[in-house]
Amino acid sequence: MKKLLISDPTLRDGNHAVKHQLTRDQVAAYAVAANAAGVPIVEVGHGNGLGASSLQVGMSLLADSEMLKAARENLTTSKLGIFLIPGFATINKDLKPALDLGADVVRVASHCTEADTTQKHIGFARERGKEVYGVLMMSHMVPGEVLLQECRKMESYGAEGVILMDSAGASLPVEVSDKIKILVDHLNIAVGYHAHNNLGLAVANSLAAAQAGAVILDGTACGFGAGAGNTPLEVLVAVLEKCGFSTGIDLYKMLDAADVARTKLVERLPTVTSGSLMSGLAGVFSGFSVHVERVAREYKVDYRDILLELGRRKAVAGQEDMIVEIADKLAKKNYDRTPVQ
């Protein structure tokens, strides 16, 4: 059986689903359950990573240090992972303290055409002897050849692997297969995939990635995440084992961990809604959905048209101010569709 490395960002990407309000007890409870299931990497933090807590993208209930300490105390065999986007996170203020608190695995992310921004952070984490990966977000936006160029940069910076992140849940399995195969065929480092479920294809896309040669896959308990959520990890583990892949995760205990997430972390399980579906079709970052629906109500315009315009403009995380601008323009056109109730 081909062995895959599973990384679980339930306590990071999943934080989007509760507006970054995970408590210390919740972090600890899920860390215990994931550790018991043998999850190799448990990623922890604000939904947008280290240093991202802000009015623009959402204030976190806990400081990064509090979340990391709560997880570190309860991860005895699972590695503690962190995620960061240069611009939100700086080396001295955010990355260095996180490493000092015991983070084992570092993922440094950029927009899919901006790998240059990751060089210093990847280099610093590698100098500290950490396991380091590069992440290309919104990977649906450019062809595989462009992704390969950006991944080669991350490889040259010292990344031990690269992960394509389908941040908008906009990809189809055939697209995933083609892009992963290009990377696998031309890189000398590991290739991974991180799916979102806006089109209901997260498990299918993850399986397609594995079959095309990806050796790292992400998933969260119950799909806990923004919009329609991420790849549900308990389902992914079962499907991968059924298809001849080994994850090293105990399925029964992963189901127990999913029960912890279902009962202790979330009030409402992620599902494909009209908003998340439109986000996937438009190719818009899932984390925009809550902001779009709120602004649409305020300006009495249709949130679907805001999403489509965001997609047309190729908006990315950090450009949330664009939502208000678009809504204002729509409202001034004497917009006459039925507003969101």
- Do 298 and 162 fall within a single domain? no
CATH of the domain at 278: 1.10.8.60
> For residue 117, what are its two tokens?
């921004």
Which band of pLDDT confidence, cut at 50, 70 and 90, is reported for residue 80?
very high
- Do 90 and 186 fall within a single domain? yes
**156-208, pLDDT tens digit by residue?**
999 999 999 999 999 999 999 999 999 999 999 999 999 999 999 999 999 99
Q: Within a domain: residue 269?
A: no
CATH of the domain at 65: 3.20.20.70
Cross-strand pairs, 7: 41, 218
Q: Within a domain: residue 338?
A: no
For the question of residue 140 being annotated catalytic, the response is no
* Total of domains in the chain: 2
Conformation bin of residue 180: beta by default, left when phi > 0, alpha when psi is -120 to 50:
alpha
- Do 193 and 58 fall within a single domain? yes
- Do 15 and 45 fall within a single domain? yes
Range of the domain at 297: 274-332
**242-255, pLDDT tens digit by residue?**
999 999 999 999 99
Residue that finishes a domain, picked among 243, 264, 285: 264
Find the radius of gyration of the CA atoms of the chain: 19
Residue 111: what residue type? Answer: H
103 has pLDDT over 80: yes
- Do 259 and 280 fall within a single domain? no
